[in-house]
Amino acid sequence: MDAKVSSLHIYPDSDSPGQELDEVEITSSGPEGNRSKKHAVHLVSVDAYVASYPKANVVIDVDTSTLDGMVGRVVRVGECTLTVTQKPSQCAGVYAEVLEPGTVRVNDLLLLGDEG
């Protein structure tokens, strides 16, 4: 599967616009500088991000159905390892918990746990 990070975003305040970054440190509670949320990381496909502008942190250049199919899987993106936990009920994308913190950069590959 060829999937890479298209863009990265943090949302320091719920009422403020997000900030687009070239790289971000993903800590155990989510992207550094992001406001505290119930789910650590919100990933979304490029198509869904452009269409609906959810407050996602990691935009992946992959088909929406492929991303949705990752629920329950372990993924590696950049230096960070995540478990994709669920689809949101009100918006596009998937939520993930952080297994191994690390830096994520634009153009980093997203790998499924059994890909390496």
User: In whole angstroms, how far apart are CA 8 and each of 31, 72, 107, 116?
Assistant: 9, 22, 10, 23
Domain count, the chain: 1
- What sign has the CA pseudo-torsion 79, 113, 109, 26? negative
What is the rounded CA–CA span in Å between residue 33 and residue 87? 23
Percent pLDDT > 90 in the chain is: 68
At residue 6 the predicted structure's pLDDT band, cuts being 50, 70 and 90, is very high
Summarised one tens digit per residue, pLDDT across range 39-87 is: 899 999 988 876 666 688 999 999 989 999 999 999 999 999 999 999 9
In this prediction, residue 116 carries a pLDDT of 45
The residue range of the domain holding 35 is 5-115
Residue linked to tokens 């935009």: 59
What is the rounded CA–CA span in Å between residue 108 and residue 77? 6
Summarised one tens digit per residue, pLDDT across range 11-34 is: 998 777 789 999 999 999 999 999
Tell which wins on pLDDT, 69 or 116: 69
* CATH number of domain containing 52: 2.40.33.20
Mean pLDDT of the chain: 90
pTM of the model: 0.91
